[in-house]
Amino acid sequence: MTRGDDRDDLTLLRSHVEGDPDAFSELVHRHRDRLWALALRTTGHPDDAADALQEALISAFRRAGTFRGDSQVTTWLHRIVVNACLDRLRRRQATATFPLPDDDDRMPLLAAPASEDAAVASERRADVLAALRQLSDDQRAALVLVDMEGYSVEEAADILGCAVGTVKSRCSRGRARLVPLLTSYGGNPAGPGDVKPVVPVVSPRAERRHAADPHGPTGGGAS
């Protein structure tokens, strides 16, 4: 397998279509951490992420000839991965009756961090991941693409196959739900009863952060 290949993504993809046995593998290797992060955030669960990602990339391997070149190769890969993730979540919901476990994704994430910085970074990632999991699948996918991957709402709508207004609405409601989970603003300005209280992040670190904030959660009531 060639590493340090200097061909660009599009050349690699075309070489793969022409029969180069290593080109696709090189392409995946080049982007695999980012694709993994995308799958992990979109599914919220490492097992689903691993399965969906593999399924997506084998699919991409086989249908590379249909890539029209009207977007970046990475965008094309992201589209396939995100939709594979959502497809997997839908299938899971159609068959599973048990809720997803909350914490087991931290095992691979926290395994042997290389340094204290790495440990902090991975714990922060776990906080974000746990918070994202509180969202609906559609809200999470929209926010992952727009706020995390940096796509415009128009691009996200194209990737997800829905209207721009739908993406905006999912992002909006998703951010509102994440406020008490990811920021020191713990309450809702409209007061209790206006929205259902959201389960706090099950992270000691997040709780410490909230407790330590001098401005503190402003709490609920506009009574």
Partner 1 sequence: MNDLTHPSLDDLADLHEGLLPPARERSLAAHISECDRCSAASAALDDVTHVLSGATSNPPPMPDPVAASLDEALLRASRERAATVPSLSQYRASSRPEAVSARQSRWTWVAAAAAVVAIGYAGVSVLDGSSGGDEAATADSGAGQDIASRDAVRSQPEAASGEDTPSSDRPEAGGLRTLNRKTLPGVAGRLATTRTTEESRLVRDCPSVDVTDDDQAAVVRWRGVRALLVVDRSTRRATVYRCTGDADRLFTTQY
Under rule CB under 8 A, residue 24 binds partner 1: yes
The least distance separating partner 1 from the CB of residue 28, rounded to whole angstroms, comes to 6
As measured in angstroms, the least distance from the Cβ of 186 to partner 1 is: 9
Q: Say which residues have a Cβ less than 8 Å from residue 216's Cβ, sequence separation at least 6.
A: 184, 186, 210
Single out the residue of 30, 43, 73, 83 in contact with partner 1 (rule: CB under 8 A).
83
Answer yes or no whether residue 166 interacts with partner 1 by CB under 8 A.
no
Q: Pick the binder of partner 1 from 25, 42, 43, 203 (CB under 8 A).
A: 25
| Region of 70-78, 96-104, 175-183 interacting with partner 1 (CB under 8 A) | 175-183
Contact window for partner 1 (CB under 8 A) among 69-77, 96-104, 116-124: 116-124
| Residues 160/145, Cβ–Cβ less than 8 Å | yes
- Is 33 exposed, middle or buried, given 0-12, 13-18 or 19+ CB atoms closer than 10 A? exposed
Nearest CA to 39 among 53, 58, 25, 54?
Answer: 53
CB-based burial of residue 222 (10 Å sphere; 0-12 exposed, 13-18 middle, 19+ buried)?
A: exposed
Nearest-angstrom CA–CA distance, 178 and 174: 6
In terms of CB distance, is 166 or 202 closer to partner 1? 166
What lies within 8 Å, CB to CB, of 132 at 6+ separation is 41, 44, 140, 143, 144, 178
| E strand map for the chain | none
Kindly state whether residue 84 participates in binding partner 1, applying the rule CB under 8 A: yes
Q: Which is nearer to partner 1, 2 or 72 (CB)?
A: 2
Size of residue set near partner 1 by CB under 8 A: 80
Q: By CB under 8 A, name the one of 13, 57, 135, 157 that touches partner 1.
A: 57
Nearest residue to 2 (alpha-carbon basis) of 57, 19, 21, 117: 21
183 binds partner 1 (CB under 8 A): yes
Q: Is 205 in the site for partner 1 (CB under 8 A)?
A: no
Q: Does 185 bind partner 1 (CB under 8 A)?
A: yes
Residue 69 near partner 1 by CB under 8 A: no
21 makes contact with partner 1 (CB under 8 A): yes
* Residue 40 engages partner 1 in binding (rule: CB under 8 A): yes
Write out the binding residues for partner 1, residues 136-165 only, by CB under 8 A: 143, 147-150, 165
Tokens 């410490």 locate to: 208
Q: Which residue, 204, 213, 219, 220, is CA-closest to 184?
A: 213
Work out how close the CB of 121 gets to partner 1 at its nearest, in angstroms, rounded to a whole number: 5
